[in-house]
Chain A
Amino acid sequence: MSESSHAQRIGDVMLDMQNISLAFGGVKALTDISFNVREHEIRAIIGPNGAGKSSMLNVINGVYTPQQGAIQLRGQHFSRMNPRRAAEMGIARTFQNLALFKGMSVLDNIMTGRNLRMKCGLLAQALRWGPAEREEIAHREFVENIIDFLEIQAYRKVPVGRLPYGLQKRVDLGRALAMEPRLLLLDEPMAGMNIEEKQDMSRFILDVNDEFGTTIVLIEHDMGVVMDISDRVVVLDYGKKIGDGTPDEVRSNPDVIRAYLGVDGEAALAH
């Protein structure tokens, strides 16, 4: 029942990556890659180490500028993106190696995600001037809803550095959510987690997609998790796209099997 309603929600193409190529000096990170992301879907980018997954994500949110290719985001064309514009257009991301403020509390860390939406100036905020205070209260309420959503009420005032890794990942997700993103980029959200933490995180990702209708692009190593939660999967290997489709299609794609299992994998498959 919920499966079909989810499928119905998937809408038009919101992000279209066209023939993207990216090189660092002589190293080709990405070669002529095209794929698109539809509204409300969960799209995964997978591939072995060094396949160019993180580079792809960095192209989407404007950290890297591709030498060739174009990006079309909600009908608008860009030959280059920059991080500020990406944020303003509703793209938020989490980081593989957590870029949280370790000494700040969970609450404050997530509050930083609201920064872009705060209208009052520094001085007004410092003086707790009327409108600034009202604004802060409104933002705080939004952040509290995220805390409730991610079930981290018990750690609200705890400095992030003191939390276990799995929870820090959740805070990182919370901060990205605070930006009210339309497109959420998750860079290995489950790296280094144990099974239970992975299950929790999978549930939160599905819930975000379901409750807020957020489109999600995620990079992940763990094939099992990816296949379980994503609608469509792009497979990269050595900077090239070798597969694209539903999890089932990708799983049975011989190129993908070869990339993951090596050449012997093909032989093994033939038996």
Chain B
Amino acid sequence: MRFFVAHGLFVSLLIASTAVGAAPPADEDTVIAQSLAEMLRDARTVVSNNQDLINNPELGDKHLSGRVVLDQTVKIYQKATGSDPATIDPNSRQGRLLRAMMAAIAAVTDDNQATINEKGTGFKGFIPAVFARLVSEDFNQRAKGEAEVKVTAPPELVRNRKARPDAWEADTMKTKLLAATWPKGQPYSAVVDVNGHPAFRVMVPEYYVGSCLVCHGSPKGEMDVTGYPKEGGKVGDLGAAVSITLYH
């Protein structure tokens, strides 16, 4: 149970981090990127908060459908941002991309109902990180050519191959987010060329809190509950980054 709690706290921390780093950007791209990141992390928080329910082997139907998860996500989003996504113009870029994110959250949840509702199995591996990756992948399909979202991390901390950073992401984390002088929680954004097209890219840092270290802490190399060796991280270390690319 601590594992699931840990992931839930980790997601909460990410939300807090985002709140810290979300203050300055004022242009549209920054707002869009920030809202997408917030929505994604809020959905992840919901999954984290429901880990006990999801991993309950005695319970079949958890009544944790895509609609339920999305509703809870929106509530958290509203609380964090003070705005209701439903009020954003669906034809606007932000409205379109935010709705694509919300659709992805609902779709991934619905696609994994069999897993969530499987009776007799405790830990089902439907953890916030996996959920976030699946949502990102679904979102990327929905916003293809317009935007991409990926939860990545410094190369040595990436557990899933699909979350590996690309060159820009790796360089940004190494030279900016991991720099000793980098303000804690401040995202980094830049307009860069992606596949011959200019794109606005944002890297939002996420830091370990105490509960994250149950799986990612010390002793380094010791197996966590998923069977993966712990990374030996400490509280406050950069644990991940949400990478958002907005194509122009």
Chain A bound to chain B: no
Which residues on B are within 8 Å of A, measured CB to CB?
A: none
- Point out residues on A near B: beta carbons under 8 Å: none
